[in-house]
Structure 1
């Protein structure tokens, strides 16, 4: 059985992601695990509390998470577990994913802010640091089936077979159509070069049996073009492969995947290599 982990701190953004995850779990007959990483409230951490008071705060949080899990199980008719840790969420995610042998992590994504764009947040950090599939769900996004999937990729770098396999499986399970979208300022090379043609053939072979389209655009503004194509294609989901930069390059490069995640109105599915 597929296992989906969804993190919540009970905020509106996180609870929207929980609802999305629950609906997706119902569709795929998956098991859902609610994860909450609990830290003491600021006012409590600045005071000296007896151990009994701290334990009560932890117990109250556990009870709240358990009640939420029971409610979701009843509402959606799915198997729901829960796990809470007394730590910061980013420190615990990797361990929780391993413990439950998870297949997918779903996290909420707040509205785009300058601070997020510059330093990121828990969700963009997970995309960057975890070598694990992550769906970032913006506030307001709902899972009502996914009929149009936009796969934005760098064809000139090549698209791994395992990535195409995962996209094909997803499209078939959802009865969705896929658009493979490529943006590059050297698109003429892609159209006429042997390597470009071989990569297009590889994509065709990898997505055989799926209704898919291929589109490329010549531009230096990759993020802007992807955002435009989301609206033009009326996509329900954006898929991207986060590229790993070396240390020095990371000082001047911001991951396009992370930037897109913090500025979308549809979920972003980040599939690492």
Structure 2
């Protein structure tokens, strides 16, 4: 894993790289406890603060985890599976894990609210100001139910106001697009797959380290040339790589094998 967020402090960076190499090389296996802070201070000839900062770098990269009162342990990283993603004409997507095994289910009631498109998406989506936002956290029907996918749908307030009751609907983009399709004007959309870094709240929601990129699919729907809906689907690149059927049309398709 690329420690792209290494600090400028050379001692911290050196220590983090050495421990990273040892973990990847198997010297410290999954669930093994790392040496204590005093032991690391002695080994690297550094102050306690340097040790803590280096360990924090490894935590953010998803390599280690702290257990209060016990120490720092090598984190068992989840196995990566293939996410096959298909999009249906009126919403979707229909997603499967491992090419067809299980579909997503909401892990909590999805909610509508009012908000703004995040700055990093606003320009790409072409929406600014207040929008209606639908948020859903999804997983698979397993025990325990682990949050695996975060979905956000953005609808211009003006569009939402023309769809009475839309903000009380349990569904997000699917019901929006279905309602819009009845107006007679055809809908068109673009799909783009890529990656971005998570926000702190997203990392917590998806139980993924803050330093692990998210695999992102962004759909933008237009009607009469105007953006009427945009939905972002994100999953942790630590858990998934992305693929699609050969006949699926997207702007770009990246498998996000890095991270």
TM-score, normalised with respect to structure 1:
0.24
Structure with bigger helix share is 1
Point out the structure with max Rg over C-alpha: 2
Q: Which has the higher contact order (CA 8 A, sep 6+)?
A: 1
